[in-house]
Amino acid sequence: MRSRKNGCEEEEEAMEGWRGGTAVTLARKFAAGLWRLQVSDIVAGGGREKQKNSLALTVRMPEIQLGAHTVRTHGVQLLRLHMHNWLILALIAVIEGVLNIIEPFHRFVGEDMMTDLKYPLKDNTIPFWAIPFVAVLLPLIIINIYYFIRRDVYDLHHATLGLLYSVLVTGVITDAIKDCVGRPRPDFFWRCFPDGKGVFDNVTKNVLCTGNKLVVKEGHKSFPSGHTSWSFAGLGFLALYMSGKVRAFDRKGHAAKLCIVFLPYLVAALVGVSLVDDYWHHWEDVFGGAIIGTVVATFFYLQFFPPPYDSDGWGPYAYFQVLADSQNGRQATNNNASCLTIQSLELESVYVESGHRRQLSRTNTHDASPVEE
């Protein structure tokens, strides 16, 4: 009787253990299934809470990455990646130098045309050396100041590269047109005849200049204005750059931000006006140079940065690409970790099931043995 009683107790214990094991297994399967649902929500973008967290992460990403990409950590890699751009930029600089050396086209300038070309020969109000400072050095200073604030080498590199391309390509276009057109400046008479005595061909009535050759050469480079085009290229790029940084078009009605945008254009316009006042250019020359500089600067700015009115207009395309790549890498890592966790839970549940099955098998074998009376 004791054996039968002990057998019943063992059977009850085995059944309780089996029930407990089954409960544990079901709990673990439920947890694994719930985990799968959570993972699928993350991957598929399901779940309002997950979407909110993902959106919040995306919004905070630019602020989290501050100082993560500096000249020391990513500068060399970035230069290697854009080495061909810098080599082409150097080639453009050489072409610009050649265009300044070659002789421009000497168009026909008759005696009857001199009436409109007798304006006094004056020095520039804004000297030639000041234009590179205003159009190139000043924007570079502002770009570097922003780098020390934000510590983003992608912004520094692309803004610098875009600025230099804007100025040099504008210079090549401007000087190529100058050399081909050969329009005389408003003070051409005094360049050609410093003594005030005009000399003309007896047959064609074309001018026979007696002045300094270099001065006469510059007298054939009126259209378009190089000073103006350079100013609008460099300062126009700066205006677009600053409009993105201050979020001038954030649709919040902060009209004062536009003053920062218009200030560089005002300086460039004053440079052009000074050239008309100094009789170095006709007004058409200044207008043409302003259009060339503005168009080229806009094209090169949009090559590296989103439009200023875009929500991401404050940073370069490359910066957001790096953020997207890093975020995708973290998601892949989290997904792999989730898969490993699910697999471990499934293996553990299988192990628990097999253990309880063995225990139940031993119990049934014990019950099948003869009962002692």
Q: Looking at the annotation, which residues are catalytic?
A: 227, 281
Do residues 132 and 59 touch, judged by C-beta distance below 8 A? Answer: no
Contact 80, 153 (CB under 8 A): no
Beta carbons of 296 and 283 less than 8 angstroms apart: no
Round the CA-based radius of gyration of the chain to a whole number and report it: 39
143: CB partners within 8 A, 6+ apart: 155, 156, 159, 160, 163, 241
The rounded distance, in Å, linking the Cα atoms of 340 and 349 is 14
Q: What angle do CA 343, 345, 347 make, to 5 degrees?
A: 70
Tokens 């309780």 sit on residue: 16
Which residue bears the tokens 């265009």? 99
DSSP assignment string, 245-270? HTTTTSSS--TTHHHHHHHHHHHHHH
Residues 6+ apart with CB under 8 A from 69: 151, 152, 153, 154, 319, 322
Q: Which of 128, 125, 135 is nearest to 275 (CA)?
A: 125
